[in-house]
Amino acid sequence: MENNIFLQHNVLYACGYQKVQSSEHYFPDHALGIMLSGESYYFSNEGAFVMKKGAICLMRRNQLFKKLKKADQNGQAPSLICLFIDQNTLHQYAVKNNIPRQSTYKDKALIDLTGNVFLKGFFDSLLPYLDNPKNLTAKIAELKTLEAIELLLQAGDLFQNFLFDFQEPHKIDLETFMNHNYKYNIPLLSFAKLTGRSLSTFKRDFTKIFDTTPEKWLQQKRLEQAHYLISKKRQRPSDVYLEVGFENLSHFSFAFKKQYGLTPTELTEQGFQQVVKNPGK
C-alpha cells in the first residue's frame, strides 16, 4: 500500500508501508524528486536508474517507466517528495523571460542531480509542509515551482532545452512502439498520446495493423510473455504478473487459465516435475 498526499496541486509526498512495492507510471509533465528514505529503482527503455536516500532526480515528461520501491537496510519505508513542472507554467515562464524556441530534446530522460546543494536546500524548504500541508498554499506552490525552474536553469545549459522543448510526440510507427512497450500497464489514452494520435485514431490504426482491439491484443501479448517466462525461464508467477503488465495476481491467474487451461502455479509445478524427471535438460 502507498499513501500519496498531494500537498498542493503539483507537489506530491508519497510514503509506502510495504517492504517492496512495484508500480508503473506515465507522467505528462516533468517531475523533480528527492528520495527521503528507502530506495527506488526506475526501469525504462534507457535502462535502470537507482535512487537511494538523499538522491535527487529530474524525469522528463512523456516517459514510460516501471518503479520498484524498497525499504532501506534499517527497515525505513520508501518515501519521497516530487514536484511536477507543468507545461502551462513553463509556457508562461518562456514568454516572460524571452526563452527562444528550442530544438527537439534528445538527451537523457532521467538526470541525476544528487549533490546539487541548491536543489537539496529547495527540498529541505518543503519538509515543514509534510506536517502542515494546509500551509502550502497555491501561491506558495506556484512560487516554489518557479524557484525549481530557476535552480534547474542554473544547473547547466542542457536544462533549457530539457524544460522548454514543447514539441508533442509525432505520429510514430505504432506496431514497433506497442511491441516494445506492451508491458506498461497504462491507459489506452496514454498509449495514444505517446504515439502521436488521438484515442479514436489510435484504436482505428491499431485494428488495421493487428486485426484486433488494443485491449485483446495487450492481454494476449502479456499472457504469451508470462507463459514464456514461467515455462522457459522458470520465473515465479508472483514475480511475472507485474513484469508483464497485469495489475493483480488473481486477475492474471484467471486470464492465464482461460487462455492455457491451467493456472500459472500449475504450469510452474508442471515445469518442476519435468526438471525432476529430466535433470540434465
Q: What is the DSSP string of 102-118?
A: PPPP-S-SEEE-TT-HH
Residue 41 has pLDDT above 90, yes or no: no
The pLDDT value recorded for residue 18 is: 56
CA distance 67 to 27: 13
Q: Strand 11-16 to strand 79-85: parallel, antiparallel, or no bridges (unpaired)?
A: antiparallel
Distance from C-alpha of 179 to C-alpha of 158, rounded to nearest angstrom: 31
Do residues 84 and 90 touch, judged by C-beta distance below 8 A? Answer: no
Q: What is the mean pLDDT of residues 105-110?
A: 91
- Answer left, alpha or beta for residue 108, where phi above 0 means left and psi between -120 and 50 means alpha: beta
- pLDDT tier, 273 (very low <50, low <70, confident <90, very high otherwise): low
Q: Fold for domain 174-277?
A: Arc Repressor Mutant, subunit A (1.10.10)
pLDDT tens digit string along 124-139?
999 999 988 889 999 9
Q: What is the pLDDT of residue 276?
A: 39
Q: pTM for this structure? A: 0.77
Mean confidence (pLDDT) of the chain: 88
Query: What pLDDT score was predicted for residue 243?
Result: 83
pLDDT tier for residue 278 given thresholds of 50, 70 and 90: low
Query: Count of alpha carbons within 13 Å of 146, Cβ hemisphere only?
Result: 12
Cell of 250: 488473481
Tally: H helices and E strands in the chain: 12, 10
Q: Is the pLDDT of residue 21 over 60?
A: no
What fold does the segment set 2-164 form as a domain? Jelly Rolls (2.60.120)
C-alpha pair distances (Å), 174 with each of 43, 49, 72, 216: 22, 27, 40, 16
Residue 256 has pLDDT above 90, yes or no: yes
Domain spans, the chain = 2-164, 174-277
Tell me the pLDDT tens digit for each residue of 206-222.
Answer: 999 999 999 999 999 99
